[in-house]
Structure 1
């Protein structure tokens, strides 16, 4: 009669506990990593929002939010009326607010003005009276 080989202790443990499953350490680590990545992203977003350094298309987020909350400006933008939008933005003081934001970085007032008008042109399509658009889509001062 043949004798059966002794079973390993691992096999015996599995037989004793039929509901035994290996420890899911890898999926837990992945889920934990994703969780902390999401928390870090939320934290960094909150820091950026509260610091006032976040921009949308070169326009500070606080200014974008004030623009979106103004019905007349929003309607002029959505209707594709750059002149009406520019007039409304001027009444709201948006250009000056953007200049205040960029003034510490751009000290030359003429370059600052051109930079702000370029941002506004790219977002709204409005070309200021003292500027014209060159073939590359860049605003340049008109020749007088």
Structure 2
């Protein structure tokens, strides 16, 4: 397979990077409204989705375990997260969102979807479906 012409690949690379930076900057703004960093917000999302071991968080975030430890302390101090002994191995801890953490995570998700939706509103209905289909094809993800 030959692939697309190099100038097109270069332009798509620049545009993809510009979109990534734009969305990242917007995410930081949205999460800062709740007083959270991008990584703190991501920890809440991951714990909500079932990533309950600190070591697994480090893998998902692609950071050192010591960085995760600092993130967890800050989220615990804010009352958003709790550490609980693993019933199967009392040497390990499992993470759970507190009631306050659940509410904050829900607000973050809603705010992010509104913000991302504002960017997507630039596209017409057919373009949105095409964009979705292209992203699915590029990422290998069939269903959201």
- Structure (1 or 2) with the greater helix fraction: 2
**TM above 0.5:** no
> Whose radius of gyration is greater, 1 or 2?
1
TM-score w.r.t. structure 1 length? Answer: 0.30
TM-score w.r.t. structure 2 length? Answer: 0.30
